[in-house]
Amino acid sequence: GTRAHDPKAVHERAWNAGRPIMGKLVFDTMRGIDFLSERDDVDPAKIGVAGNSLGGAVASWTAALEPRLKLAIVSGWAYHNVTLRSKYCTKVPNQAMREICTWPEFLSLAAPNCAVMVMNGDADWIIDSDDDGAAWRGTRSVVTETAQIYQSQGAPGKVRAWFEAKGGHRPYMCHPDALLWIHQHLGTPLLTAQQIRDLPTVNSGRWCDAHQIILERLYGTDLHQRGATLVDFGLTPLDRNKLACLKPDERGRPAFTLEGWLEQIERTD
């Protein structure tokens, strides 16, 4: 499942094989960029990444390491030492990174080509685990310092910290301001900036209730995901079978499971 990588034993097996979990997630994201770059209907000069929570952590690393990215939205994640005591998949690579560089140096690896927007709620105690605002003050400071690096490389205005007052752990990459960032740095051919500002919005909790979607207990509160403001494009959920990447007979095969991956990398010299 989606939490299968969390246990310490899983982290240790991957780390000892020289293939940390975060590296696997970023590697897979890069392979997605490979796929997009080969498509005739995709402009390879306009590829971005967005993620929330662990996805935000993956977006932060991909922005730092993938030169083909032109935009990244890092949501529900901090550029701060609070992440050095989170789950194994995020804290261990961040601990190793912090031994060789500062947070501004890490974020500035995306400069000058990748426009990075860091989006958070200032009441998100899931990431700001001491619930004292230190993670968010630190993140603001990192972005401010990194903005000077972008400026020095001829890319002013391409890194920004955005916060929602009293917002919790929410998918801010679905907020209208995220779409405006995409419009500014990648372009939105079908929508002007004013049309984006005029788009209707919908509350995440109401949308989920209307479509019988049950959120996780930790996140399914008004402070967190239920309280998110989403751009309302009139979307309806797809049946999970239509969303599935694997065929029914492929599910559970070692080639498509975490255990299968661990066994593979442990066999590799």
pLDDT of residue 269: 59
pLDDT at 147 over 80: yes
Res 2: pLDDT: 67
- The domain segmentation of the chain, as residue ranges, is 8-188
Does 1 score more than 60 pLDDT?
no
pLDDT in tens, 84-121: 998 999 999 999 999 999 999 999 999 999 999 999 99
Residue 189 has pLDDT above 60, yes or no: yes
What type of residue is 4?
A
DSSP string, 215-259: PPTTT-STTTGGG-EEE-----PPPHHHH-SS-GGGTT-GGGSHH
Decide which of 3.40.50.1820, 3.30.310.160, 3.40.190.10, 3.40.640.10 is the CATH code for 8-188.
3.40.50.1820
* Amino acid identity, position 41: D
Chain segment 248-263, per-residue pLDDT in tens = 999 999 999 999 999 9
